[in-house]
């Protein structure tokens, strides 16, 4: 390289100086880039794997089998928990259906009792007759019918929108979605709507 620089300095012709300088720079770039290219071409798969001893291979096999057993046990536990929760959910659904049936029976019973229990004058208190409710259990429980609502009472203003939409023929799900209220609440309000 030193020889190249000294040749460039002593040369009288400007064009030959630039040619020599350009050749030197290009040669240097070629060498630098060639060295980097060789470093990049190394394939990680070309390395030879480090050989494991027999004891190390057996230890790895034991670890893998232990891991597989633990994964299987975890999967079985999760399946058992899901089955238990599904059975609990089924029981709760059956209880809810039974309570809903009992509520419907009680509601139908009060609708039939109301004309008979209506007070004849303002001084008399309404007579309350017991209603037998036995939809879920075998034991009959007798509960008094709730006091009848006064027919003069206007419907609850919070329920007015639900009643209006139901009168338009919309389903409880549509009503709940539009009013941003829970489906169960809308269904309950419509189920308990005065006739």
- The number of domains in the chain is 2
Tokens found for residue 99: 């309570």
175 neighbors 165 (Cβ within 8 angstroms) = yes
Compute the average pLDDT of residues 90-118.
79
The per-residue pLDDT of the chain, averaged, comes to: 75
Tokens found for residue 48: 């030879």
d(CA 43, CA 21): 36
Please report the pLDDT score of residue 106 as a whole number: 86
Q: The dihedral of CA 169, 173, 176, 182: what is its sign? A: positive
- The model's pLDDT over 49-81, given as tens digits with 9 standing for 90+, comes to 667 788 888 999 999 999 999 999 999 999 889
Q: Which residues contact 20 (CB under 8 A, 6 or more apart)?
A: 4, 7, 8, 11
Between 39 and 56, name the one with better pLDDT.
Answer: 56
Q: Which domain holds residue 184?
A: 157-195
Domain shared by 138 and 195, yes or no? no
d(CA 17, CA 184): 93
Please report the pLDDT score of residue 3 as a whole number: 57
Judge if pTM exceeds 0.85. Answer: no
Domain shared by 68 and 138, yes or no? yes
132 neighbors 146 (Cβ within 8 angstroms) = no
Tokens found for residue 10: 């002593």
With respect to residue 69, please indicate whether it lies within any of the assigned structural domains.
yes
Domain shared by 133 and 188, yes or no? no
Domain shared by 137 and 163, yes or no? no
């Amino acid at each position: 390289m030193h020889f190249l620089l000294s040749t460039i300095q002593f040369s009288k012709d400007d064009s030959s100086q630039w040619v020599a300088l350009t050749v030197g720079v290009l040669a240097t770039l070629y060498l630098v880039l060639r060295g980097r290219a060789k470093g990049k071409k190394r394939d990680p798969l070309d390395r030879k794997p480090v050989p494991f001893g027999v004891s190390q291979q057996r230890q790895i096999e034991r670890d893998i089998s232990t891991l597989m057993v633990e994964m299987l046990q975890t999967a079985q536990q999760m399946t058992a928990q899901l089955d238990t929760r599904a059975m609990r959910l089924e029981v709760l659904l059956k209880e809810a259906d039974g309570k809903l049936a009992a509520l419907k029976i009680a509601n139908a019973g009060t609708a039939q009792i109301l004309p008979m229990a209506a007070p004849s004058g303002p001084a008399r208190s309404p007579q309350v007759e017991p209603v037998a409710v036995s939809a879920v259990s075998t034991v009959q429980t007798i509960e008094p019918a709730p006091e009848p609502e006064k027919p003069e009472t206007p419907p609850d203003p919070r329920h007015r929108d639900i009643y209006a939409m139901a009168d338009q023929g919309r389903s409880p799900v549509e009503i709940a979605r539009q009013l941003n209220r829970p489906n169960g609440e809308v269904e309950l309000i419509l189920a308990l709507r005065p006739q």
